[in-house]
Amino acid sequence: MQNIFDDPVDCKRILREICLLRKLQHPLIIELVEIIKPSDPDNFTDLYVVLEYAESDLKKLLKSTLFLEPNQI
């Protein structure tokens, strides 16, 4: 995630989602594997988050014209 502090609202959302992902454990929720520590913790703008591999991208699925099967939903 680049320039995470540019928009305070987005920054809060990112932090909230990271906190939720760390707590949630379910087969249908992607797992947060790791957060890469910045080389300079006092001065950074990008955050690197390692997530479990997903076969597809939710944004692409939502924009596609394909109908989702019940098991995909």
Q: List, for residues 34-59, the tens digit of each pLDDT value.
A: 999 999 989 999 999 999 987 777 78
| Start-to-end Cα distance in the chain | 26
Look at residue 20 in the predicted model and tell me its pLDDT: 94
Q: CB of 68 within 8 A of CB of 50? A: no
Q: CB of 3 within 8 A of CB of 45? A: yes
CA distance 17 to 21: 6
Q: pTM for this one?
A: 0.65
Whether the CA torsion 24, 28, 34, 36 is positive or negative: it is negative
As a whole-number percent, the residues of the chain with pLDDT over 90 amount to 53
Residue of higher predicted confidence among 65 and 11: 11
Q: Which CATH superfamily is domain 8-63 in?
A: Phosphorylase Kinase; domain 1 (3.30.200.20)
State the amino acid at position 31 in one-letter form: E
